[in-house]
Structure 1
Amino acid sequence: MNNLDSLPVVWRRYDEKQTLAHWVLWLAFIALVVFAWQLMNEDTIWYFVTDSPNQIADIGSRMWPPRWSYLEQLWQPLWDTLNIATLGTLLGIVLAFPVAFLAANNTTPSVVFVRPVALFIIAASRSINSLIWALLLVAVLGPGLLAGIIAIALRSIGFISKLMYEAIEEVNKTQVAAIRATGASPLQVLDYGVLPQVLPSFIGTSLFRWDINIRESTVLGLVGAGGIGLKLQESMAVLAWPQVTVIFCSILVTVVVSEWLSAKVRHALI
């Protein structure tokens, strides 16, 4: 009997090449972390970091007690913020709907020409933050709610389109083929075979995006796009910290209520 046959077999998850590759990746990751830490330390003034607890305590003492009488001046900015988020989301939904069908492999009219353009629109929308969109639009359209609405819409296109076109590509092909076998036109195939399958995902994604847009629209006023962010900028500019506390509380309540409402609507429609 061969002595090698009597040795116990040791199970290993990775072979030698895979183990070596993992060690190389870990070393590269550690080297990257060390490099990033050194790069961060070059411009970091650690005195301010160590003094930050004192600064937080000082600002916190100035923010209390809140100036609740200032709440009367926040109702209109809060309403503007909700309008920015809602109208921007609706506009984003209208624009994202065709983009998603043009980006999906199984519904695009041209994989070579049309789909890359749709994917570029999605990538461009997702890569630019709504605050940057608002900053650009304020420079073009001037300050006001319109810039904020369009900024929210442009940011929403990529989010909604990406999730929707992925859902379109995962539809049940058997159901689509059955409808096509009846002699249905391409538009009828989309209407009866694809749309019913992706509609729940589309509704859920749109509601989730509206919930996100409410949070994002609260800061658009910092660049002149209207909403409660404008009041926040004014209060911080004059160091009116008790008013800042009231603004923070109103934003918190608005976000909590919007999340609750979004969950209720999603549960009712899906």
Structure 2
Amino acid sequence: MTAHDYPEVWQRRTPRARLVQWMGWLCLVALFVWCWQVMTANTIWAFVTDAPRQAADIGSRMWPLEWGYVPELLLPLWDTINIATLGTIGGVAMAFPIAFLAARNTTPSAMILRPIALFIIVASRSINSLIWALLLVAIIGPGLLAGIVAIALRSIGFVGKLLYEAIEETDARQVEAVEATGASGLQVLSYGIIPQIMPAFWGISVFRWDINIRESTILGLVGAGGIGLKLNASINTLSWDEVAVILLLILGTVVVSEWVSAKLRRAII
């Protein structure tokens, strides 16, 4: 009986491909072990093993909740919502023209203006809002203005990236139909492109506002105003019953903002 009498067995990968795959997994495990050793080189494991007991101790100090502290939190909470709302409006206003400069089908200059617009978008997305707030507090001083500007600068990258991608995905046939009527460049933009992207624009803006509600709650930790100031003060004084109330209030605010943004996106889109 010869080898031709047996049917050939199909294999997904060749022996060489399987060897390369296993070598890749081995390198990945070795990289993980090396990264773990680097990250935990200065870790004090006695603190880590004691962490559950410390967490249980802090949790016991949070009870009973200090509900009488709620009236003092309403104004900072309102400031937080205003930081998120005004920051979102500012960020969207700046991101709208930048998105048109970044999109391939609308930019006036693919060699100069488009790279500049893309750089602004990448720079905004690369720096966290907390870092923006930390820098702005040092530049313009502590307060709500630093928080508003930080949220706005952070929002440019998010809104600009999603919006310019939506612009590039517009239907070219509608643009060509408007151009065929002899419309000017501004008219083509107004009647051929903007109507197509408006649902995406409003959906992106509302979604970013929802994200900014969450991010603005912690800006007070660096002096940028809002309920984060109260949270930082309560943590510094070890008032864990007040911390628990603040955390519950932040949770409730985020849940409500999530519900509102979902309703708005459903109504718009």
Instruction: Tell me the CA shift for residue 26 of structure 1.
Output: 2.3
The alignment-based identity, stated in percent, is: 65
The 5 A counterparts of 1:105-184 are 105-184=104-183
List gaps (5 residues or longer) in structure 1. none
Sort the Cα spacing of 1:112 and 1:16 in 2 relative to 1 into closer, same or farther, 3 A: farther
- C-alpha separation in 1, matches of 2:40 and 2:66: 39
1:72 equivalent in structure 2: 71
Sort the Cα spacing of 1:111 and 1:27 in 2 relative to 1 into closer, same or farther, 3 A: farther
Instruction: Tell me the CA shift for residue 111 of structure 1.
Output: 1.1
- C-alpha separation in 1, matches of 2:16 and 2:146: 55
Instruction: Tell me the CA shift for residue 7 of structure 1.
Output: 2.7
2:193 equivalent in structure 1: 194
Deviations 1:211-261 (A, max 9, x none): 000000000001110000000011111111111011011101111111111
SS at match of 2:40: helix
Instruction: Tell me the CA shift for residue 20 of structure 1.
Output: 4.9
Instruction: Tell me the CA shift for residue 24 of structure 1.
Output: 3.9
List gaps (5 residues or longer) in structure 2. none
2:100 equivalent in structure 1: 101
1:225 equivalent in structure 2: 224
SS at match of 2:64: coil
1:234 equivalent in structure 2: 233
Sort the Cα spacing of 1:18 and 1:144 in 2 relative to 1 into closer, same or farther, 3 A: same
Instruction: Tell me the CA shift for residue 23 of structure 1.
Output: 3.5
Runs of 4+ residues deviating >2 angstroms? 2-9, 14-28
Instruction: Tell me the CA shift for residue 28 of structure 1.
Output: 2.5
1:29 equivalent in structure 2: 28
Deviations 1:150-201 (A, max 9, x none): 0000000000000111111111112212221221112111111111111111
1:263 equivalent in structure 2: 262
Sort the Cα spacing of 1:25 and 1:200 in 2 relative to 1 into closer, same or farther, 3 A: farther
1:247 equivalent in structure 2: 246
Moved more, 105-114 or 24-33: 24-33
Sort the Cα spacing of 1:32 and 1:110 in 2 relative to 1 into closer, same or farther, 3 A: same
Q: Work out the number of aligned pairs and report it.
A: 268
Task: Give the superposed CA RMSD.
Answer: 1.6
